[in-house]
């Protein structure tokens, strides 16, 4: 298998943009925002692509009939998971890849069905917000990261390689109650095209609309930066789906993620 250098990344864009769904982290790797690797079957005209982050997020794209490419994926999995016991989260780009992943890895991975929503801008969605007394909004900074409710520094090291990389290339909004963060909306991954949303609210503050307000302001930041916000969740996470629809996210694309429990 051939590992591309960054100057060769341009060769795979025609194939990537031709598929129905591409994870946000794929673009983050290609734009060298997070550390990762790209493997292909052919340098100039690739038909099969395996791309991933150093932290263990991967995606397979292209033809499923390339036997040597498929065998290499199996060997990669055995080395990373069964021998080194490292994280392995594999995004499938099609139904045919779903079947092949099961066959190739002998059903050793758990399948998770997910939705990726498209944002449809509506002016009324971003109307002014109103917070109760003693509550305020703040952009996530290093101080917030040290005392937050859900997204601790280890979270950003996992997705972003480091806290400093997140602070430089990601962004987020938090709701403060008396200067304590109780709800946060942040970038799982971000790049020059997309920003994928993640939200966490402290348990005793749920059901008060804080996630909706934080997400609204986050989406406004995306628009100001010229980024398309992305909302993704499990297909049975009905609370997340309702919030997504309330915020203007529509037309969910169904995709699958495979991981080792």
pLDDT in tens, 184-218: 999 999 999 999 999 999 999 999 999 999 999 99
Give tens-digit pLDDT for 121-145.
Answer: 877 666 677 888 999 999 998 888 8
What percent of the chain clears pLDDT 90, i.e. is strictly above it? Answer: 77
Residue 93 pLDDT:
84
Please say if the pLDDT value at position 150 is more than 80.
no
Q: For residue 79, what pLDDT is reported? A: 94
Residue-wise pLDDT for 45-84, tens only, equals 899 999 999 999 999 999 999 999 999 999 999 999 999 9
Measured from the Cβ of residue 161, the count of other Cβ atoms closer than 10 Å reads 17
- In whole angstroms, give the CA distance from residue 216 to residue 214: 5
Q: What is the pLDDT of residue 130?
A: 83
Given a cut of 70, whether residue 149 has pLDDT beyond it is no
- What span, in angstroms and rounded, lies between the C-alpha atoms of 246 and 227? 19
Query: According to the model, what pLDDT value does residue 246 have?
Result: 92
- Is pTM beyond 0.85? Reply is yes
pLDDT at 71: 94
Give the number of other Cβ atoms within 10 Å of residue 169's Cβ: 17
**pLDDT tens-digit series, residues 78-116:** 999 999 999 999 999 888 999 999 999 988 899 999 999
> How far is 74 from 88, CA to CA, in rounded Å?
12
Domains of the chain: 2-108 (3.40.630.110), 118-252 (3.40.630.30)
- Per DSSP, the residues of the chain read -EEPPGGGGGGGHHHHTTSS---HHHHHHHTTSS-EEEEES-SSS-SEEEEEETTSEEEEEE-S--HHHHHHHHHHHIIIIIIT----EEEESSHHHHHHHHHHTTT-SEEEEEEEEEE---GGGGPPP---TTEEEEE--HHHHHS-SS--HHHHHHHHSSHHHHHHH--EEEEEETTEEEEEEEEEEE-SSEEEEEEEE-GGGTTSSHHHHHHHHHHHHHHHHT-EEEEEEETT-HHHHHHHHHTTEEEEEEEEEEE--
Q: Is residue 148 pLDDT above 70, yes or no? A: no
pLDDT of 16-28, one tens digit each?
A: 988 889 999 999 9
């Amino acid at each position: 298998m051939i590992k591309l250098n960054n100057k060769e990344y341009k060769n795979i864009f025609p194939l990537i943009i031709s598929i129905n769904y591409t994870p946000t982290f794929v673009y983050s790797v290609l734009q060298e925002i997070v550390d990762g690797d790209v493997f292909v079957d052919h340098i100039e005209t690739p038909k099969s692509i395996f791309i991933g982050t150093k932290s263990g997020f991967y995606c397979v794209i292209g033809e499923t009939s390339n036997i040597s490419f498929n065998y290499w994926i199996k060997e990669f999995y055995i080395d990373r998971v069964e021998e080194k016991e490292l994280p392995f989260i594999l995004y499938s780009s099609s139904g045919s890849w779903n079947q092949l992943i099961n066959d190739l890895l002998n059903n050793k991975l758990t399948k998770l069905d997910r939705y990726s929503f498209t944002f449809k801008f509506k002016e009324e969605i971003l109307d002014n917000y109103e917070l109760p007394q003693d509550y305020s909004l703040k952009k996530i900074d290093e101080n917030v990261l040290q005392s937050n409710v859900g997204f601790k520094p280890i979270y950003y090291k996992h997705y972003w390689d480091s806290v400093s990389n997140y602070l430089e290339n990601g962004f987020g909004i938090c709701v403060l109650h008396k200067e304590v963060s109780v709800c946060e909306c942040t970038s799982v991954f971000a790049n020059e095209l997309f920003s994928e949303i993640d939200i966490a609210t402290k348990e005793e503050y749920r059901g008060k609309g804080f996630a909706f307000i934080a997400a609204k302001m986050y989406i406004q930041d995306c628009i100001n930066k010229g980024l398309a916000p992305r909302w993704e969740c499990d297909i049975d996470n009905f609370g997340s789906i309702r919030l997504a629809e309330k915020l203007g996210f529509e037309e969910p694309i169904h995709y699958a993620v495979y991981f080792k429990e």
